Amino acid sequence: MNNYELMVIFTPVLSEDEFKAAQKKYTDFIVENGGTVVHSNPWGLKSLAYPVQKKTTGIYWVLEYTAPSSFNEKLKIQILRDDNIMRHMATALDKYAVEYNAKKRSGVPTGTEKAEI
């Protein structure tokens, strides 16, 4: 089982219920294929750095999960079939990234926080 992080940018025309349904669809897909969801972090509506499909905003979602290495190809096929997804990126996490994410979630200082003046 390897650790991965998936960032997805959904089209901004989705309603809140459609966005939650899409999140559930992909978390269920991961579990059905032998993976486990470590953490789900919906960022919400954000501006894009450049227009994608003539849209200047997108709904961001970051998902951290563990799965067998053969799973990512199945996930990629599902994502490419989904018209509501504008962009996606799956990244393999090493042990340091997993440790960093766990610290960040638990509120332990990681050394990368902005200094308050």
pTM: 0.85
Q: Does residue 10 sit in helix, strand or coil?
A: strand
CA distance 12 to 59: 6
Residue 69's H or E segment, with its range, is none
Task: Note whether residue 82 is domain-resident.
Answer: yes
The band of 108, judged by pLDDT with boundaries at 50, 70 and 90, is: confident
Task: Note whether residue 117 is domain-resident.
Answer: no
Task: Note whether residue 113 is domain-resident.
Answer: no
Task: Note whether residue 15 is domain-resident.
Answer: yes
Question: Interior CA angle at 102 toward 99 and 105, to 5°?
Answer: 150
Range of the domain at 69: 2-106
Number of domains into which the chain is organized? 1
- pLDDT value at position 38? 92
CATH number, domain of 44, equals 3.30.70.60
- pLDDT value at position 115? 61
Residue 113's H or E segment, with its range, is none
Task: Note whether residue 115 is domain-resident.
Answer: no
Q: When comparing pLDDT for 117 and 77, which is higher?
A: 77
Contacts of 79 (CB under 8 A, 6+ apart): 8, 26, 85, 88
pLDDT, average across residues 16-28: 94
Task: Note whether residue 23 is domain-resident.
Answer: yes
- pLDDT value at position 84? 93
The band of 1, judged by pLDDT with boundaries at 50, 70 and 90, is: confident
Mean pLDDT for the chain overall: 90
Q: State the number of CA atoms in the 13 A half-sphere of 54 facing the CB.
A: 0
CA distance 78 to 90: 13
